[in-house]
C-alpha cells in the first residue's frame, strides 16, 4: 500500500495540521491518527489561546459595571455574531448551552407546553438518541403520540416515503438529523423541513454530526430549530441552538425570574461557560480563515480577522438570513466559511474514496450505509463497519494500541444499532474522517486492519 500523499487537496494540510498541537502525539511509538472526530474533534491553537486568554484577563460574570464584565459581555456578543455567520441567521437567534442534549431537553419541554393529547410528533430510527429521548419524554408528559420514520436497511438512508406517511394534520413537530453519527448518511433536510411545514409542523434539526463536514444554512433550510455542538467542529465543549426569532419569542422557557425575558438570553440559564464561548469565536474564525486561504492562496491567509458584532445583539432588527451589509463584516466571514466547507468537502471526499476502496478489499468486512461512490454526496466520511469473528471493541482496542483512535459501540445511535441487530454484539467500529486527516493516515489504518484480521 503506498504511503505518500497522492491527492492535491485545495486545503493546505501542512498548514492545517500545524494548527492542531494534539495531532503531533504518538502512542507506543506510533503517530496518533485521530479518527474519532464524530466523538469530538481536536482544537487549533487559537481556540486554546482564546480560552486561556479569557481566563487570564477577563474572567467575570456578565452585566457588571466594570471592565472585565464588560469585556465578557462584548466577547459573548462577538461569539454570537460568529455563530450567526456560521449558521446564517441573526445573532439573537443563537442560543448557547452546555451541549446539544441539554438544549434539546430544554427546548422540547418548552415546545411541549403548547402540545396536548392527540397531537403527534415524528422522530427517526436513524437519529442519535439526543434527538429522540427528549421528544419521547415530552410526549409521555403531554400525552402526545410518537410516530417513527423508518430507514432502508440496505443503505441506512431515511425512508422518505415512510417519513411522509407519518406526517399528517395532527403532526406538531418533526425531529430529524442532518447526518448520521453512526453510518454517515446525510438526510435531505430541506425536503424534510418542507414536508413538516406543509402540515403545519415545526422542524427540529440535529446538525451535530454534519457540522464538521458541510456548510449549515438555516435560512436556506427554513428549519425552525437547528442544534449543533462546537466540540464537533474544532471548538470547545459547548452546544448551540438556532431558533427562528418568532419561535424563541413566542415559546415560554422554563427560567428563573430575574433572568431577562429578551431573546436569546431568556433561553440561557445560569452562568454560561464563558471561557468556552471565547473559544467558539476562535473556532469559527479558524474555519473562516481556511476559506480565506483557499480563496486568496495559502500565503495570503491571515491569522485572525475577527470582527466584533455589537450591532447583532438584542436589536431584533436583523433579517433572518443575517446577511445584510450593516452586520459588521458578517457577509465576508460567511463567504469565507462557505469557501472553507467547499474545500473541506473536496478533501474529505478523497479520503472517503480511498478508505472505501481499501475497506472493500478486506475479507469478511461489512460496511453499513452508502458504499456506491456515485452516491457519496448523500453521505459524509464517517464509516461504520463490522468484521466477522472480531468484535468492534477488540478491533478498536488493537487499533488504539497502534495509535489509531476509533470508536466501538452505538455512540448513542441506539435506535439504529438495535434496529440493525448489532447492539447485542458490540455495535459497529466507527472510523471518522475530518479535514485534518490525511491519505497517509487512511493507508496506514487499512494496513493495520489487514494485519489485525490476518488478511
Ligand atoms: C448526531 C449527534 N447528535 C447529538 C449528539 C449529542 O451532542 P452533545 O454531546 O452536544 O449533547 C451527538 C453527540 O455525539 C451526535 O453525534
The verdict on the CB of residue 177 being under 6 Å from ligand 1 is: yes
pLDDT at 316: 34
- Lowest-confidence range among 230-234, 287-291, 297-301, 402-406? 297-301
Residue 327 reports pLDDT greater than 70: no
Query: How far away, in angstroms, is 99 Cα from ligand 1 center?
Result: 8
Of 432, 454, 387, which Cα lies nearest the Cα of 210?
A: 432
Residue 133 pLDDT? 98
d(CA 378, CA 185): 6
Which ligand 1 atom lies nearest to the CA of residue 102? 11
For residue 295, the model assigns a pLDDT of 76
Write down the pLDDT at residue 453: 94
Q: Is 21 helix (H, G, I), strand (E, B) or coil?
A: helix
pLDDT of residue 305: 42
**pLDDT value at 232 more than 80:** yes
Atom of ligand 1 nearest to the CA of 209: 1
Give every CB contact of residue 399 below 8 A, 6+ residues apart in sequence. Answer: 405, 406, 445, 448, 449, 452
Cβ-contact 247, 224 below 8 angstroms: yes
Beta bridge partners of 240: 96, 228
Residue 170: what are its φ and ψ, rounded to 5°? -90, -10
The shares of helix, strand and coil residues in the chain, as percent rounded to the nearest 5, are 45, 15, 40
pLDDT-derived band at 296, boundaries 50, 70, 90 = confident
Instruction: Using the predicted structure, report yes or no on whether residue 174 has a pLDDT greater than 80.
Output: yes
Res 325 pLDDT > 70: no
pLDDT above 90: residue 163: yes
Cβ–ligand 1 contact at 239 (below 6 Å): yes
> How far away, in angstroms, is 314 Cα from ligand 1 center?
28
- Spacing, Cα 430 to ligand 1 middle (Å): 15
Quote the ligand 1 centre to 297 CA distance (angstroms). 34
Query: Which residue from 205, 237, 412 has its CB within 8 A of the most atoms of ligand 1, so it is best to mutate?
Result: 412
Averaged confidence pLDDT in the chain: 92
Rounded alpha-carbon distances, angstroms, from residue 131 to 153, 181, 330, 338: 20, 12, 30, 26
Report the distance separating Cα 122 and Cα 95, nearest Å.
24
Cell 460496511 belongs to 367
Q: How high is the pLDDT of residue 455?
A: 84
Kindly report the pTM of this predicted structure: 0.92
Is the shortest distance between the CB of 99 and ligand 1 below 6 Å?
yes
On the question of pLDDT at 2 being above 90, the answer is no
Task: List alpha helices for 98-142, DSSP H.
Answer: 100-112, 133-142
| Ligand 1 atom closest to the CA of 40, numbered from 1 | 14
Q: In sequence order, what are the beta bridge partners of 96?
A: 240
Per-residue confidence (pLDDT) for residue 297, from 0 to 100: 65
User: What mean pLDDT do residues 67-87 have?
Assistant: 98
* pLDDT at residue 312 is higher than 90: no
Residue 306 has pLDDT above 90, yes or no: no
242: left (phi over 0), alpha (psi -120 to 50) or beta: beta
Q: Tell me how crowded residue 218 is: count the other CB atoms within 10 A of its CB.
A: 25
CA of 447 to the centre of ligand 1 (A): 30
Write the Ramachandran bin of 446: left for phi over 0, alpha for psi from -120 to 50, otherwise beta: alpha
pLDDT at 330: 85
Position 320 scores a pLDDT of 34
Query: For ligand 1, is residue 208 a contact (CB within 6 Å)?
Result: yes
Handedness of CA 223, 280, 17, 449 (dihedral sign): negative
**What is the rounded CA–CA span in Å between residue 288 and residue 301?**
10
pLDDT at 5 over 50: no
Return d(Cα 27, Cα 48) in angstroms, integer: 22
Range in 49-53, 82-86, 257-261 the model is least confident about: 257-261
In the reported structure, the alpha carbon of residue 422 is separated from the centroid of ligand 1 by a whole-number distance in angstroms of 20
- Mean pLDDT calculated for residue range 11-16: 94
Cis peptide before 264 (omega within 30 of 0): yes
Mean pLDDT of the 189-193 span: 98
Judged on CB neighbours under 10 Å (0-12, 13-18, 19+), 363 is: exposed
Say if residue 70 is exposed, middle or buried (CB neighbours under 10 Å; 0-12, 13-18, 19+): middle
Percent of the chain with pLDDT over 70: 91
130 CB near ligand 1 (under 6 Å): yes
Distance 39 CA to ligand 1 centre (A): 8
CB 186 within 8 A of CB 353: no
Q: Each residue of 399-434: pLDDT tens digit?
A: 999 999 999 999 999 999 999 999 999 999 999 999
Amino acid at each position: 500500500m503506498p504511503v505518500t500523499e497522492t491527492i492535491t487537496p485545495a486545503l493546505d494540510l501542512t498548514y492545517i495540521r500545524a494548527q492542531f498541537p494534539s495531532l503531533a502525539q504518538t502512542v507506543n511509538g506510533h503517530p496518533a491518527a485521530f479518527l474519532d472526530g464524530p466523538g469530538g474533534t481536536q482544537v487549533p491553537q487559537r481556540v486554546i489561546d482564546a480560552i486561556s486568554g479569557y481566563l487570564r484577563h477577563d474572567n467575570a460574570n456578565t452585566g457588571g459595571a466594570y471592565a472585565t464584565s464588560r469585556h465578557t459581555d462584548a466577547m459573548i456578543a462577538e461569539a454570537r455574531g460568529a455563530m450567526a455567520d456560521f449558521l446564517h441567521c441573526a445573532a439573537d437567534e443563537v442560543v448557547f448551552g452546555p451541549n446539544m442534549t441539554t438544549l434539546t431537553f430544554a427546548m422540547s419541554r418548552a415546545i411541549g407546553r403548547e402540545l396536548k393529547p392527540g397531537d403527534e410528533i415524528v422522530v427517526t430510527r436513524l437519529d442519535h438518541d439526543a434527538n429522540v429521548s427528549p421528544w419521547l419524554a415530552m410526549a409521555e408528559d403531554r400525552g402526545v403520540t410518537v410516530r417513527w420514520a423508518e430507514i432502508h436497511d440496505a443503505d441506512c438512508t431515511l425512508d422518505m416515503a415512510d417519513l411522509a406517511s407519518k406526517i399528517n394534520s395532527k403532526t406538531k413537530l418533526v425531529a430529524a438529523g442532518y447526518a448520521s453519527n453512526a453510518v454517515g448518511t446525510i438526510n435531505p433536510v430541506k425536503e424534510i423541513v418542507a414536508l413538516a411545514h406543509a402540515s403545519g409542523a415545526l422542524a427540529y434539526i440535529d446538525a451535530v454530526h454534519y457540522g464538521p463536514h458541510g456548510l449549515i444554512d438555516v435560512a436556506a433550510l427554513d428549519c425552525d430549530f437547528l442544534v449543533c455542538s462546537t466540540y464537533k467542529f474544532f471548538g470547545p465543549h459547548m452546544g448551540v441552538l438556532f431558533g427562528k426569532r418568532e419561535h424563541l419569542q413566542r415559546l415560554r422557557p422554563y427560567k428563573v425570574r430575574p433572568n431577562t425575558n429578551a431573546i436569546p438570553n431568556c433561553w440561557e440559564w445560569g452562568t454560561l461557560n464563558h471561557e468556552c464561548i471565547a473559544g467558539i469565536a476562535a473556532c469559527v474564525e479558524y474555519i473562516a480563515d481556511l476559506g480565506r486561504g483557499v480563496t486568496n492562496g495559502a500565503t495570503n491567509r491571515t491569522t485572525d480577522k475577527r470582527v466584533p458584532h455589537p450591532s447583532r445583539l438584542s436589536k431584533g432588527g436583523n433579517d433572518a438570513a443575517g446577511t445584510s451589509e450593516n452586520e459588521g463584516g458578517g457577509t465576508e466571514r460567511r463567504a469565507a466559511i462557505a469557501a472553507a466547507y467547499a474545500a473541506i468537502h473536496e478533501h474529505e471526499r478523497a479520503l472517503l474514496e480511498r478508505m472505501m476502496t481499501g475497506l472493500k478489499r478486506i475479507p469478511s468486512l461489512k460496511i453499513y450505509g452508502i458504499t456506491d461512490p456515485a452516491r457519496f454526496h448523500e453521505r459524509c466520511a464517517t464509516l461504520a463497519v463490522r468484521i466477522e469473528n472480531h468484535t468492534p471493541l477488540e478491533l478498536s482496542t488493537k487499533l488504539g494500541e497502534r495509535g489509531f483512535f476509533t470508536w466501538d459501540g452505538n455512540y448513542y445511535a441506539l435506535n439504529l444499532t438495535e434496529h440493525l441487530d448489532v447492539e447485542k454484539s458490540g455495535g459497529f467500529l466507527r472510523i471518522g474522517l475530518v479535514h485534518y486527516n490525511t491519505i497517509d493516515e487512511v493507508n496506514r489504518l487499512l494496513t493495520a486492519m489487514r494485519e489485525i484480521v490476518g488478511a
